[in-house]
Amino acid sequence: MNKVDVVLGLQWGDEGKGKIADFLTPNYQVIARFQGGPNAGHSLKFNGQTHVLNTIPSGIFHSESINIIGNGVVVDPVRIKAEIERVEAAGAKVKENLIFSRKAHIILPTHRLLDAASEHAKGDSKIGSTLRGIGPTYRDKIGRNGLRIGDIHLQNFKEKYEAIKKEHLGLIGFLGYNDFDLATLEAEFFEACEYLKVFKHVDTEYLVNSMVASNKILAEGAQGSMLDIDFGSYPFVTSSNTISGGVCNGLGIAPQHIGNVYGIFKAYCTRVGSGPFPTELEDATGEELRKKGHEFGATTGRPRRCGWLDLVALKYAIMLSGVNYLIMMKSDVLSGFEEIKVCTGYKIDGVESKQVPYDLCNVKVEPVYTSFKGWSEDLTICRSKDALPQNFLDYISFLEKELEMPIRIISVGPDREQTINC
């Protein structure tokens, strides 16, 4: 029987999931997002053009693939309308190939305002949210208070909306936030809801389960394992389960249907927003990584914090998701550094540990590093493993030994073509 394979980020997001999902799509008939929402920004590059997807799965540019937005995703009608229009203009067949779960929750204008109000109220301890309304929408879902895609077809949709809005406005007022023009936000919201009515809204759990036997399905994750609501660097996390366990809830499939778990990681680490980051480099080396790697958010444009690869966190992520297929991204960015470091342990109160501590926020972690000699060769032109420089291969061998698994794909640039199968 066919299985549902999974693409996941193993760090703090932006590992290159979009590029790999697009690269793998020709092997699959269905690409399905299972969590997150427009906080994600997945970049794809082919034919000299870059496309950024936020909620639409990364298979959309392959005219044969079906793209599903699963029940675990939160959808902002306003943002997805703009995204659909953008992607259609680039030639994708969205009306034919995009299917929404009727059970996916909707991000309301007041969810976005609540996100802003809550971050504003937190002051210096803010999460650094993307302000897309993700946290408040999942909060209403868990609080049994949300609206779902299927609800936009209901006669009393507006009535339901008004009841939730009233509650939200009370909370926003309590938080002392008043910098908004709700009438304008609501006008575009209801226009976008109308626009979405012509798309396919179905019970995707039935669809996915009926397809699993005869089709190959790829589940595309958003964010990264260290942003997982349960296992990430809480509270500096997103509001969904980003690990492979989230696929079952987010698509409505049973665990025995999960097949390969592709774990995507960068050759170094980045993080955008606040929160602990043990290997962060707040120096010239970090600045150089940011510059060479163009480390600025695909969704918000914010500079990403940069640091060395963290094997303690990476092993944790591999364990949590049962990763059996490793993919390393942005290898080309490390060219030109004299010395490359990899964190192999955390020293906490003078004692070395191989585990991610319960509360990364309130312990002082001193990373234990192993150093490697760098290389100067340009990797972006390499198309096979034997073209890669020896110092880079030594780095890879060390990682494979530590992670107890081969690295099956090495990415050496943003383009589809810059991908080496090992």
CA 69/CA 65 separation, integer angstroms: 13
Binding positions for ligand GDP, 24-43, rule CB under 6 A: 40-43
Quote the least distance from Cβ 158 to ligand GDP, whole Å.
35
* Cβ pair 289, 38 in contact under 8 A: no
**Number of helical (H) and strand (E) elements in the chain, helices listed first:** 12, 20
- Name residue, tokens 């929750």: 105
Whether 283 is catalytic is: no
- Name residue, tokens 């001193």: 366
The answer to the question of residue 227 lying near ligand IMO (CB under 6 A) is yes
The answer to the question of residue 333 lying near ligand GDP (CB under 6 A) is yes
The answer to the question of residue 332 lying near ligand GDP (CB under 6 A) is yes
Amino acid (one-letter) located at 375: W
Of the candidates 7, 16, 114, 344, which one interacts with ligand GDP according to CB under 6 A?
A: 16
CA 117/CA 113 separation, integer angstroms: 6
Of the candidates 19, 201, 257, 315, which one interacts with ligand GDP according to CB under 6 A?
A: 19
Please return the burial class of 123, using the count of CB atoms within 10 Å of its CB with bins 0-12, 13-18 and 19+.
exposed
Binding positions for ligand GDP, 37-96, rule CB under 6 A: 40-43, 45
Quote the least distance from Cβ 320 to ligand GDP, whole Å.
17
The answer to the question of residue 241 lying near ligand IMO (CB under 6 A) is no
Q: Which does 134 bind (CB under 5 to 8 A by kind): ligand GDP, ligand IMO, Mg ion, none?
A: ligand IMO
Binding positions for ligand GDP, 381-420, rule CB under 6 A: 411-414
Of the candidates 16, 37, 38, 41, which one interacts with Mg ion according to CB under 5 A?
A: 41
Q: Which residue number is nearest to ligand IMO in terms of Cβ?
A: 273
Quote the least distance from Cβ 227 to Mg ion, whole Å.
11
Q: Which does 6 bind (CB under 5 to 8 A by kind): ligand IMO, Mg ion, ligand GDP, none?
A: none
Q: Quote the strand ranges of 339-388, DSSP E.
A: 339-348, 351-353, 366-373
Residues 74-93: x/- map of binding to ligand IMO (CB under 6 A)? --------------------
The answer to the question of residue 290 lying near ligand GDP (CB under 6 A) is no
CA 91/CA 33 separation, integer angstroms: 21
- Total interface residues for Mg ion by CB under 5 A: 3
Q: Which two tokens stand for residue 52?
A: 């950024």
The answer to the question of residue 298 lying near Mg ion (CB under 5 A) is yes
Binding positions for ligand IMO, 167-226, rule CB under 6 A: 222-224
In 3D, which of 389, 262, 239 has the Cα closest to residue 329? 262
Catalytic residue, candidates 5, 14, 76, 310: 14
Task: List the beta bridge partners of residue 373.
Answer: 339
Whether 14 is catalytic is: yes
Closest CB to Mg ion among 168 and 304?
A: 304
Quote the least distance from Cβ 152 to ligand GDP, whole Å.
28
Of the candidates 103, 132, 257, 266, which one interacts with ligand IMO according to CB under 6 A?
A: 132
Catalytic residue, candidates 5, 42, 168, 332: 42
Closest CB to ligand GDP among 71 and 242?
A: 242
Residues 35-74: x/- map of binding to ligand IMO (CB under 6 A)? ----xxxx--------------------------------
Please return the burial class of 208, using the count of CB atoms within 10 Å of its CB with bins 0-12, 13-18 and 19+.
buried
**Interacting residues of 353 by C-beta distance below 8 A, sequence separation 6+:** 312, 345, 346, 347
With both helix axes pointing from N to C terminus, report the angle between 311-321 and 390-403 in degrees, rounded to the nearest 10. Answer: 50
Q: If DSSP codes are grouped into helix, strand and coil, which group holds residue 298?
A: coil
In 3D, which of 44, 101, 93 has the Cα closest to residue 74? 101
CA 258/CA 2 separation, integer angstroms: 9
Q: Which does 412 bind (CB under 5 to 8 A by kind): Mg ion, ligand GDP, ligand IMO, none?
A: ligand GDP
In 3D, which of 243, 258, 227, 229 has the Cα closest to residue 319? 243
Q: Which two tokens stand for residue 170?
A: 């009370």
Q: How far is residue 250 from each of residues 22, 36, 228, 244, 288, measured CA to CA in Å?
A: 20, 10, 14, 10, 38
CB atoms within 10 A of CB 230: 13
Task: List residues with catalytic annotation.
Answer: 14, 42
Applying CB under 6 A, the residues found at the interface with ligand IMO are: 9, 12-14, 39-42, 127-130, 132, 134-135, 222-224, 227, 238, 272-273
Applying CB under 6 A, the residues found at the interface with ligand GDP are: 9, 13-19, 40-43, 45, 298, 329-330, 332-333, 411-414
Applying CB under 5 A, the residues found at the interface with Mg ion are: 14, 41, 298
